[in-house]
Structure 1
């Protein structure tokens, strides 16, 4: 029993004599400072991410607010659901941030065969099971409202080779049917176009803009 006490005493003396306790305190202090610095950095990064998310949310709300009135006006006049027009504008223009939308006011990726009042830009097309980048000539508009009006008239008048191309979009009484009609008519090459439109409408409750007094 006496030897065990002696060993414990020697181990205790080893820790506390000759400045060992000072080194231990220093190591602990360094660890605390390092962890504190790490925590502050993490908090700073978290605040930055929250600010980015907040700015993006505000930008989306503003975009919806900007395109809603004209979309509703076109719905009243031509029966193209506002939710569909708005969801298409969101998808096609990436919330109005694409070069085509921000600089040339083309919200829907409408192409042009004319060399006047148009611009050549890169775009993605879905062909043979994969996405490819191509050069396309796109229509230039004077405003987002003008782009929405032209898009609505495309739904109403169809194309030169098929005037009834989007007839089922106009006939649709709900956004689900309208989205499917757009895809069936071949509006976009994306095979998931209808489901993406529906998801955008549901996520941002765009169907409320279909209810006009």
Structure 2
């Protein structure tokens, strides 16, 4: 009678990674693997700390710079506010409109026209008036184009602000009533839209830009 040979059962080896097997072998701690793991963790922590240290100053610096610019603009607007309020009492132009237009038209007193020639409102010069020829962007037939135009030259910012108020009160030589809706506006929203509708600027977003400046810097607090 033939004896059946018993087949030896092979132990199945698991292909899955075992954390315990990585650190322990035959009851003994695998020092090499343990050291590699510790070194890896230390390096990972060092990289994370370095990245965080690099990121935080940048974020803080950006926030600080933005806050500094905001404060500088507030200080500049506050310096113009008393005269803007005086013009409102004399001519009826809302102080918030006077200030917002000065900020927008002069790029916060960063334009060549305002810095060198004290023209804070982009007012064009008539024949015989002291002027400077400078390039400017305007919307013509739905497209932005750059043209050269003569702009009035003033001795100081107050002269520019006064001329701006007089322009809105007296209108233009073609239409003396051109800005009357601006003068009689009860609030800055109505006045801003009236400026664009009267053709003060060709930019379709002009009114909204003024409104944004007024609301961001709370300029309507000067409308007494």
Correspondences of 1:126-137 after superposition (within 5 Å)? 126-137=139-150
Match of 1:188 among 201, 206, 220: 201
Deviation at 1:31, TM superposition (A): 1.4
When residues 143 and 16 of structure 1 are mapped into structure 2, their CA distance, relative to the original with a 3 A threshold, is farther
Bigger radius of gyration, 1 or 2?
Answer: 2
Matched, 1:198 2:214: no
Matched, 1:65 2:78: yes
RMSD of Structure 2 on Structure 1 (CA): 2.7
Deviation at 1:176, TM superposition (A): 2.4
Match of 2:136 among 113, 117, 123: 123
Matched, 1:207 2:224: no
Deviation at 1:208, TM superposition (A): 1.6
Map of 1:83 onto structure 2: 96
Match of 1:168 among 168, 174, 181: 181
Deviation at 1:37, TM superposition (A): 0.7
Contact 1:83 1:209 in 2 (8 A): yes
* Between structures 1 and 2, the one with greater helix share: 1
Q: Report the secondary structure of 1:187's partner residue.
A: coil
Higher alpha-carbon deviation: 197-206 or 54-63: 197-206
- Unaligned stretches of 5+ residues in structure 2: 1-10
Map of 1:99 onto structure 2: 112
Map of 2:47 onto structure 1: 34
Match of 2:25 among 9, 13, 17: 13
- Normalised by the length of structure 2, the TM-score is 0.81
- Normalised by the length of structure 1, the TM-score is 0.85
Contact 1:63 1:96 in 2 (8 A): no
Match of 1:24 among 37, 43, 48: 37
- Unaligned stretches of 5+ residues in structure 1: none
Map of 1:52 onto structure 2: 65
